[in-house]
Amino acid sequence: MYKELKVLLKSKLSDRQVNLARLVKDVIKKPARIKRELNNFQVHENKLRVAEIDHVPAVFSATIVDSCNLRCPNCFYLLENPDRFFNSHLSAEKFEEILKKYNKEKKADIMFLTGGEPLIHPEFGELVKISKKYEMITKTSSNGILIMNKPSSLLDLDYINISMDSYDYETFKKYRGGTKRQFDRILEGINFLKENNLNFSLSYVISAENISEMEKMIEFSERLMPKFVYFHNINPFGSDKFTALSAQNEYSMKHLNKILKRNDYAIDIQTTHIFNEKSSHFTETKCTLPWNNFSFNSKGDVAFCCMLEHDNKIGNVFDDYNFNSPEMIKWRKKTMSNKIEDCCLYCQKRFEDEQQFAVFDSANRKWIFSKHGKIIIKSLQQAFTDNQTNKTHIH
């Protein structure tokens, strides 16, 4: 009877009315939902407009362990600071203390458990349960080596990303500095995620130095069948070892164009922002993370965002930090100004409010491009057409 009534109502109501009915249902079942929606509205209204906020950041990034079992050459944490990692973890008791203090009314949407390598944490499963107790969508990103150490601790996660950066043992050794045993353990762990229908993705850091291997990364991912594969554009943090993908780099664009020409991939693909250095969009786009993201590490020190280093000068969650420390207010003011900090210039998070550069929809076998992605693709096609024309004239 209930199902029949539901079908009848859906046939009589508009899509807007159906969505409103769902929202009312959710609010009745979970009263915190209305607080969360109102808080999200405040986030939207405040970002890039005020330096002192009156909302709870929607995303909590908790560095629950400040150590890692790999030393990846392209790790953005180590590119920013080679001495970033140290041996420390946030206890479950302290973690709950933080959530009770900063998310008592369950206004925040997402808990991102990160590191270092988060699965090193001896109480990882307990941290997931605490996050769910505060009705937070709980996510993590791991190198995958330790999945099989405590596989049951992952079952309550809403989402897990495995940072691959490689497609066989040789590239794993090259890009992640790992052993054959570690690579095999990752594959074993991914099979566990698949067998248990966990929501997982694979990700790869892409730069001008490895974009020629992007097709092999996709082929490797197709064998493992994640929900989607994601390609990050590297932030070199001033390093001369890596070059971010730029629309002005002919070599990078040649290989990217090759990927985008195909429409027969078996999995969904999300590509990161491609920097168009000659555009005002590149020089003027401002980051919203200081309004939307609350980042703290295992010692309680706060960071301006999830990509930059934690520092007790910004604040500490075990003291009187309230999202509006003098340093954080100063950083938001700086972000609202016309000056983009050097450390932020090549950060893809600066463009996070926008649609991904290009998304491949495997069900419909087509690429979907963002507004700025279309501009770059159009200039790419023109450049390759001009090259072909020039070659024809030479012959």
- Block means of pLDDT (10 residues each) for the chain, 395 residues, are 54 66 66 86 96 98 89 66 74 98 96 94 97 97 95 96 96 92 97 97 95 97 97 87 91 92 96 90 94 97 94 96 97 93 92 86 95 78 59 51
pLDDT confidence of residue 96: 98
pLDDT confidence of residue 353: 82
Helix H or strand E segment including 113: strand 110-114
Q: What are the two backbone dihedrals, phi and then psi, of residue 36, each rounded to the nearest 5 degrees? A: -65, -45
Can you tell me the distance from the alpha carbon of 81 to that of 308, in angstroms, rounded to the nearest whole number? 9
Q: Report pTM.
A: 0.87
pLDDT confidence of residue 355: 74
Q: Tokens 């965002």 identify what position?
A: 305
Bridge pairing between strands 268-271 and 358-361? antiparallel
Asked whether the beta carbons of 228 and 269 are under 8 A apart, the reply is yes
pLDDT confidence of residue 130: 98
Candidates 138, 149, 159, 151; CA nearest to 226 is: 159
308 CB-contact burial (10 Å; exposed 0-12 / middle 13-18 / buried 19+): buried
Q: What is the DSSP string of 238-285?
A: T-SS----BTT-HHHHHHHHHHHH----SSEEEE-PPB-TTSHHHHH-
Side chain identity, residue 85: F
Q: What is the DSSP letter of 101?
A: H
